[in-house]
């Protein structure tokens, strides 16, 4: 199993209950695909570089997951079908990115 970063941008106009529902759905999708969630960074509303569906802000969720196979196909394609999900990005975590230069 490889480690990945799963980054999502949700609709910025969601209530706290709606955000919790989206988080539960994401975690259920991860479990159903055989992935393990190791960390969640709930950043909240942030300004976007460009407008997505006429919104200048987005609600950011950043997951660190361990998954086998192709998470872009299994997880991201399922999450993109949600109405409140604006963007999904899956990036393979590489250990050389975390090394410090001397």
- Residue 86 DSSP one-character state: E
Residue 98 pLDDT > 70, yes or no? no
Mean pLDDT of 21-41: 94
Taking alpha carbons only, the member of 86, 92, 42, 34 closest to residue 63 is 42
Distance CA 66, CA 34 (A): 9
Distance CA 35, CA 18 (A): 23
CA 71 vs. chain centroid, Å, equals: 12
What is the pLDDT at residue 79?
Answer: 94
Among the four given CATH numbers 3.40.50.10240, 3.30.70.60, 3.30.420.40, 3.20.20.60, the one describing domain 2-92: 3.30.70.60
For 48-86, write each residue's pLDDT tens digit.
999 999 999 999 999 999 998 888 888 999 999 999 999
Question: What's the maximum distance between 2 C-alpha atoms anywhere in the chain?
Answer: 46
Q: What is the pTM of this model?
A: 0.86
The larger pLDDT score, comparing residue 72 to residue 8, is at 8
What is the pLDDT at residue 74?
Answer: 84
Q: According to DSSP H, which parts of the chain are helical?
A: 16-32, 71, 77-79
Residue 102 pLDDT > 60, yes or no? no
How high is the mean pLDDT of the chain? 91
The three-state secondary structure class of 10 is strand
Residue 100 pLDDT > 90, yes or no? no
Domain ranges for the chain: 2-92
């Amino acid at each position: 199993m490889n480690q990945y970063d799963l980054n999502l941008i949700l609709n910025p106009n969601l209530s706290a209950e709606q955000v919790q529902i989206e988080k539960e759905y994401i975690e259920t999708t991860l479990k159903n695909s055989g992935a393990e969630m190791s960390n969640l960074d709930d950043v909240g509303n942030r300004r976007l570089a460009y407008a997505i569906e006429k919104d200048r802000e987005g609600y950011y969720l950043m997951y660190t997951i361990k998954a086998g196979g192709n998470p872009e196909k299994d997880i991201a394609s399922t999450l993109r079908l949600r109405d409140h999900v604006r963007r999904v990005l899956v990036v393979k975590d590489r250990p050389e990115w975390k090394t410090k230069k001397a």
